[in-house]
Amino acid sequence: MHLTSTDRLFVLTGAGISAESGLATFRGSGGLWSGHRVEDVATPEAWQANPAFVWNFYSMRRRNALAAEPNAAHIALAHIEQQLGDRFYLCTQNVDDLHERAGSHRIHHMHGSLFQSRCVRCNQPFPDQSFYDDAENLPTCSQCSAPIRPHIVWFGEIPLDMDTIYDQLDRSTILLVVGTSGSVYPAAGLVHIANQRGIRTIYIGPEEPTNAEAFEQIILGSATQALPTLFETQ
């Protein structure tokens, strides 16, 4: 696909881009976590009811992400960013850090980050790679002693910095979506906004997403196969 010198690329990624790094997707592995539906764990209600259970889930996700390596798809996006500079914007639904470890800089984690935590009262995210498996020893804030939670956007919570996402999309000429089932909003709604604005829309993944009808072009294949050869920039 040809990119002109004025094209601006907005990329949205989902769990599928990390699948070939060995990280479970939400749909691919059933409930993602030993029979528990993610929607039942990644919620404020689950946190209120059983914070130790939720910290157990995110400690397991931290371990898995630390043991994983970025794959050719993450690396391809970092290369495209190097060529396009500020004409590139990466919005990811993923909470792992594989895009950063592949060299991406212009990135926004709309659903938060595995390796950040925050005090439920002070609300200031901070880097945190610790594991919290001991229900008797859950982390509390050194400033105000309130509980520390994962800096993750749970179901029913508002994704981070939606204004910037919409602003970046408005300025783009192409929306490329990679490896997401298109089942969760507002992320899955970005393609509809793109259509209203006359922005070209492309999807990459091994199966059609739920919102397939909204894409101008669907490239069926894995991210590591399709991404590295997708664009030839001038």
Q: Which residues are catalytic?
A: 111
Distance (Å) of CA 89 to CA 127, 136, 205, 215: 23, 42, 20, 19
Please report, as residue ranges, which positions from 83 to 142 form the binding site for ligand BV8 (by CB under 6 A).
93, 95, 111
36 binds ligand BV8 (CB under 6 A): no
- Contact between 192 and 214 under an 8 Å Cβ cutoff? The reply is yes
Of the candidates 56, 116, 211, 222, which one interacts with ligand BV8 according to CB under 6 A?
Answer: 222
Selected range binding Zn ion among 82-90, 94-102, 119-127, 209-217, rule: CB under 5 A = 119-127
146 binds Zn ion (CB under 5 A): yes
Selected range binding ligand BV8 among 82-90, 125-133, 155-163, 166-174, rule: CB under 6 A = 155-163
Gap between the Cα atoms of 127 and 107, Å rounded: 16
51 binds ligand BV8 (CB under 6 A): no
Six-digit token pair at 222?
Answer: 């894995």
- Contact between 10 and 176 under an 8 Å Cβ cutoff? The reply is yes
Provide the minimum distance between the beta carbon of 17 and ligand BV8 in the complex, in angstroms, as a whole number.
Answer: 6
167 binds ligand BV8 (CB under 6 A): no
152 binds ligand BV8 (CB under 6 A): yes
Of the candidates 33, 148, 209, 231, which one interacts with ligand BV8 according to CB under 6 A?
Answer: 209
First-residue to last-residue Cα distance in the chain: 11
Of the candidates 144, 162, 212, 220, which one interacts with Zn ion according to CB under 5 A?
Answer: 144
Provide the minimum distance between the beta carbon of 145 and Zn ion in the complex, in angstroms, as a whole number.
Answer: 7
223 binds ligand BV8 (CB under 6 A): yes
| Region of residue 85 (phi > 0: left; psi between -120 and 50: alpha; otherwise: beta) | left
Nearest to 203 by CA among 217, 222, 214: 217
In the three-class reduction of DSSP (H, G, I as helix; E, B as strand; rest coil), residue 162 is classed as helix
Six-digit token pair at 118?
Answer: 């925050």
207 binds ligand BV8 (CB under 6 A): yes
How many residues bind ligand BV8 (CB under 6 A)? The answer is 38
203-219: string of b/e by CB count within 10 Å (b at 16+)?
Answer: bbbeeebebeebbeebb
Interacting residues toward ligand BV8 by CB under 6 A: 14-17, 19-20, 25-28, 39, 42, 93, 95, 111, 152-159, 162, 179-181, 183-187, 205-207, 209, 222-223
